[in-house]
Amino acid sequence: MGIYIIKSLHSDWIKVGHHKITDKRPSVYYRFINRGFYSVICPTEIIDKVSFNDVELIYWFENLDIKDEHKLHKQLKLLYEHKGEWYKLDKINDILNIIYTNYNGILNMPSIDDYNNALDWCNKLQKNNKKVFEYNEV
């Protein structure tokens, strides 16, 4: 489990969320490499720009869990402009201060191998889905 912060490459918004590490999804990249953030509420200016290539992982706090994420969002939504779980980038230092001070967040960024493994997984998944789609067309 952990809390991630990603930033949009197209606007001044960041998203705070959680990902549960499992054997099948062993890094935070698995949270968004295949489906992006199309299933969540997001700012209108990036509504069609929330895929893996549209965002950048900037923080990963692996010691925090979903309960911490819920409490953090309650705090942040009282303090800052938001759209769903997205907040303005200019609040990043304040948000980090809250994570470090109130939740004892431990920053531990995933490795390039984690990234590449997730990318390989996604490519295989998409290849398999394409085969199923082609089979169903026949």
Residues 35-67 have pLDDT tens digits of 889 989 999 999 999 998 899 999 999 999 999
At 101 the pLDDT is 97
CB under 8 Å to 49, separation ≥6 — which residues? 8, 9, 10, 11
At 130 the pLDDT is 52
In angstroms, what CA-CA distances link 60 with 28, 49, 57, 123, 137?
8, 21, 8, 23, 41
The rounded distance, in Å, linking the Cα atoms of 82 and 121 is: 32
Average pLDDT over residues 12-29: 93
63-109 confidence digits (pLDDT tens) = 999 999 999 999 999 999 999 999 999 999 999 999 999 999 999 99
